[in-house]
């Protein structure tokens, strides 16, 4: 079975310029609209939108790999590192801090050149113990063994893709990095799409290739806007279309270097990510309006934390026991907090009662 990298000069990708440029022009216009709208917000609202989107980006990127991050930890780590003042910060694990550190280096330092050492640093923070699950892996260096993307039960595996041999990886990465840093006349959004395909096709590391691919994508999209503030999440859009993502990627990696289908898919996914900013913006505005409406009302720290978590979608049904656990207080204190908010007209009992008693915010 031949793969894309088995062809001579495989990195000289081809595509239907007319089809791609027509779609690119439309999506680029949408990108400009979204960026203009978000940058017109006040600084506090911008910070809230960035915090929500970057948190979503990292959580969804890890979910694509089957790894579930704690949203509260991710949000707290980003807020601390960006100096965003927000209630309800929680302790953060070393692993989550590492994932956030990689993403912030990619997006806040988007103009910095890409280097081997920078990629090795990202890989190091993803695997601080040198282990991937139960297995020791090469960390902070390119892989020394073969790499296959497989699915299926043991003994019935299906090989979806086989990456270039390990001895080819250093030269392949040298070429890739030089291209990323080159200021040649390639539209920056197209560059993000091509880099995504190219890097994941080399698959240079033992593990973490998908997460690093998406961090690179975010870095190049930030370059396309000349803006470090991230107001949308490509990983969230990819997660929504995950089956399609793997299918089009596999077809392209089995192809002969024509990447038209991949680029069209990427641009469509990018447009979906841009459209999702409306939901984020709506949530940010609701939160801002709430705190403005109740600016003269006194809340304790626990109440502020739990109310913010309600707006940020951290959990489902709000119960007394959940309040007590998150706020680290007794059940009696939790009930007093909740009853106080009911008196203030902020919470009400949901229709279900008895042992299922839970509370919702008053619209």
Q: In this predicted model, what pLDDT tens digit does every residue of 133-155 receive, in sequence order?
A: 788 898 999 999 998 888 777 77
Same domain, 126 and 265: yes
Is the model's pLDDT at 157 over the cut of 80? no
- Residue 70, Ramachandran bin (φ over 0: left; ψ between -120 and 50: alpha; else beta): beta
Q: Which of 215, 250, 280 is the last residue of a domain?
A: 280
Kindly state whether residue 197 falls inside one of the protein's structural domains. yes
Tokens of 79: 């807020």
Query: What's the length of the chain?
Result: 363
Name the residue with tokens 């439309």: 26
Taking alpha carbons only, the member of 316, 327, 324, 329 closest to residue 359 is 316
Q: Are 100 and 81 in contact (CB under 8 A)?
A: yes
Co-location of 333 and 261 in the same domain: no
Among positive and negative, which fits the CA dihedral 137, 141, 144, 145?
positive
95, 112 contact by CB (below 8 A): no
d(CA 119, CA 135): 21
Q: How confident is the model at residue 315 (pLDDT cuts 50, 70, 90)?
A: low
Q: Is the pLDDT of residue 314 over 80?
A: no
Domain region containing 319 = 299-361
Name the region of 93 (left: φ>0; alpha: ψ -120 to 50; beta: rest): beta
Torsion angle of the four alpha carbons 302, 303, 309, 313, in this order, in degrees rounded to the nearest 10:
140
Which pLDDT score is estimated for 185?
82
Q: Could you read off the pLDDT of 326-356 as tens digits, one per residue?
A: 888 999 999 999 999 999 999 998 876 556 7
Whether 235 contacts 202, CB under 8 Å: no
- Does this model's pTM top 0.95? My answer is no
List the structure tokens of 141: 């260096």
Q: Give the integer Cα–Cα distance in Å for 276 and 53.
A: 10
Q: With 0-12 CB in 10 A as exposed, 13-18 as middle and 19+ as buried, what is 134?
A: exposed
Q: Report yes or no on 289 lying in a domain.
A: no
pLDDT for residue 87: 62
What was the pLDDT predicted at 288?
A: 78
Residue 313 pLDDT class (50, 70, 90 cuts): low
Burial classification of residue 353, based on how many CB atoms lie within 10 Å of its CB (0-12 exposed, 13-18 middle, 19 or more buried): exposed
Shared-domain flag, residues 330 and 268: no
* Residues 240 and 354 placed together within one structural domain of the fold: no
* Other beta carbons within 10 Å of 70: 15
What is the number of domains present in the chain?
2
CA 14 to chain centre: 28
DSSP state of 164: P
Give residue for tokens 């009662």.
Answer: 353
Q: Are strands 135-136 and 158-162 parallel, antiparallel or unpaired?
A: unpaired
User: Does the pLDDT of residue 299 top 80, yes or no?
Assistant: yes
Q: pLDDT tens across 209-228, in order?
A: 999 999 999 999 999 999 99
Show the CA angle centred on residue 49, arms to residues 228 and 230, nearest 5°: 25
CATH number of the domain where residue 84 is located: 1.10.3290.10
Give domain status of residue 109, yes or no. yes
- Asked if pLDDT for residue 163 goes beyond 90, the answer is yes
Rounded CA separation 173/196 (Å): 13
Residue 361: strand, helix, or coil: strand
Per residue in 36-86, pLDDT (tens digit) is: 988 888 888 888 889 988 999 999 999 998 888 988 899 899 999 999 877
Return the structure tokens found at 155. 């003994």
Give me the phi and psi of 194, to 5 degrees please: -65, -45
If asked whether residues 149 and 199 sit together in one domain, one would say: yes
In a domain, 294, yes or no: no
Within-domain flag for 244: yes
Contact 106, 234 (CB under 8 A): no
Q: Judge whether 242 and 272 are in contact, CB under 8 Å.
A: no
286, part of any domain: no
CATH number of the CATH domain containing 326: 1.10.10.10
**188 or 289: which carries more pLDDT confidence?**
188
- The backbone region for 11, taken as left when phi is positive above 0, alpha when psi lies in -120 to 50, beta otherwise, is alpha
Residues 6+ apart with CB under 8 A from 356: none
65 contacts 211 by C-beta, under 8 angstroms: yes
**Distance from C-alpha of 215 to C-alpha of 81, rounded to nearest angstrom:** 17
Q: 110 and 238: one domain? A: yes
Q: How far is CA 141 from CA 116, 118, 168, 207, 318, in A?
A: 9, 11, 14, 11, 45
């Amino acid at each position: 079975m031949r793969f894309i990298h088995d062809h001579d000069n495989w990195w000289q990708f081809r595509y239907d310029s007319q089809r791609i440029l027509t779609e690119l022009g439309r999506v680029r216009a949408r990108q400009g609209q979204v960026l203009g709208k978000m940058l017109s917000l006040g600084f506090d609202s911008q910070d809230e939108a960035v915090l929500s989107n970057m948190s979503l980006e990292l959580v969804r990127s890890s979910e694509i790999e089957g790894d579930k991050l704690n949203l509260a930890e991710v949000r707290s780590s980003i807020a601390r590192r960006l100096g965003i003042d927000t209630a309800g910060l929680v302790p953060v694990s070393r692993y989550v801090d590492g994932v956030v550190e990689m993403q912030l280096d990619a997006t806040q330092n988007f103009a910095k050149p890409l280097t081997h050492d920078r990629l090795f640093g990202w890989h190091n923070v993803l695997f601080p113990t040198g282990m991937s699950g139960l297995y020791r892996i090469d960390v902070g260096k390119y892989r020394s063994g073969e790499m296959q993307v497989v699915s299926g039960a043991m003994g019935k595996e299906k090989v979806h893709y086989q990456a270039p041999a390990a001895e080819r990886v250093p030269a392949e990465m040298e070429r890739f990095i030089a291209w990323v840093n080159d200021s040649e006349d390639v539209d920056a959004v197209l560059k993000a799409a091509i880099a995504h395909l190219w890097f994941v096709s080399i698959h240079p590391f033992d593990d973490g290739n998908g997460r690093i691919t998406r961090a690179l994508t975010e870095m190049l999209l930030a370059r396309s806007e000349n803006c470090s503030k991230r107001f949308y999440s490509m990983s969230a859009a990819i997660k929504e279309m995950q089956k399609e993502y793997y299918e089009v990627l596999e077809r392209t990696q089995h192809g002969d270097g024509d990447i038209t289908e991949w680029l069209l898919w990427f641009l469509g996914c990018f447009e979906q990510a841009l459209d999702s900013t409306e939901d984020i913006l709506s949530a940010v505005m609701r939160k801002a309006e709430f705190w403005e409406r109740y600016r003269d009302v006194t809340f304790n720290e626990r109440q502020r934390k739990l109310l913010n978590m309600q707006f940020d979608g951290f959990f489902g049904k709000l119960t007394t026991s959940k309040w007590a656990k998150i706020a680290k207080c007794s059940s009696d204190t939790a009930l007093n907090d909740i009853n106080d908010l009911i008196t203030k007209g902020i919470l009400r009992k949901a229709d279900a009662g008895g042992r299922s008693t839970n509370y919702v915010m008053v619209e």
